C-alpha cells in the first residue's frame, strides 16, 4: 500500500465529474487499499478518489456509528459507483471540514438519512442505509464525485480557532 497525496483546492480534478468504474481488477484494489491508508493517515473519516487526483467514482469511509460508545469499532465502507437513491425529508445543519480544503470549516445542510447504492470492490451490488453523521459523510464524499465541494453548499464558512475540533472528510 502507498500513501497518496491529497490534492487541495483549486486542483481542477476536484471540480470535474468523476468517471464510472468499469474494471474491477487488481489496479482498482490497489487504489482502494491506497485510499484507505491515505484516509487513515490524514486522518479523516472519508475520502473520494478525486481527492487523490483520480477522477473515478470511488469512495472509502471509516466511521463508528455508535457515537455514544467511545469503544465502538469504526466500520469501513468501500463503495464503487455510489449513488444516493433515497433521502429523508428532514435535513440538519452541521459543521463540516475537508481534507481537500485545509484550514476551513462550514455549516452545511444535509439530509438526516440516505440510502446509497453501489458496488463493492468485487463489483457486487451493495445498498447502505445511513443516518446521522454517517449519512452526512456519504453525502459529502458523493458530492466530491460530482465536482462539488462542501464550501459550495455551506451557509457559512470560517477558519476555526486554535484548539477547536475540526471535522474532516
Which of the residues are catalytic? Answer: 141
Beta bridge partners of 61: 46, 77
Q: Are 141 and 114 in contact (CB under 8 A)?
A: no
- Torsions phi, psi of 143, nearest 5? -55, -40
Amino acid at each position: 500500500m502507498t500513501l497518496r497525496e491529497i490534492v487541495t483546492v483549486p486542483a481542477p480534478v476536484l471540480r470535474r465529474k468523476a468517471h464510472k468504474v468499469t474494471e474491477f481488477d487488481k489496479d482498482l484494489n490497489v487504489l482502494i487499499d491506497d485510499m484507505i491508508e491515505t484516509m487513515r493517515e490524514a486522518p479523516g473519516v472519508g475520502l473520494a478518489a478525486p481527492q487523490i487526483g483520480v477522477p473515478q467514482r470511488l469512495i472509502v469511509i471509516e466511521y463508528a456509528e455508535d457515537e455514544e460508545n467511545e469503544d465502538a469499532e469504526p466500520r469501513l465502507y468501500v463503495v464503487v459507483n455510489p449513488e444516493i437513491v433515497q433521502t429523508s425529508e428532514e435535513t440538519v445543519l452541521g459543521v463540516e471540514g475537508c481534507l481537500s480544503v485545509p484550514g476551513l470549516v462550514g455549516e452545511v445542510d444535509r439530509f438526516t438519512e440516505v440510502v446509497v447504492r453501489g458496488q463493492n470492490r468485487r463489483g457486487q451490488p451493495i445498498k447502505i442505509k445511513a443516518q446521522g453523521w454517517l449519512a452526512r459523510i456519504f453525502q459529502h464524499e458523493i458530492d466530491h464525485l460530482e465536482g462539488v465541494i462542501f464550501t459550495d453548499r455551506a451557509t457559512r464558512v470560517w477558519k476555526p480557532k486554535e484548539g477547536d475540533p475540526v471535522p474532516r472528510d
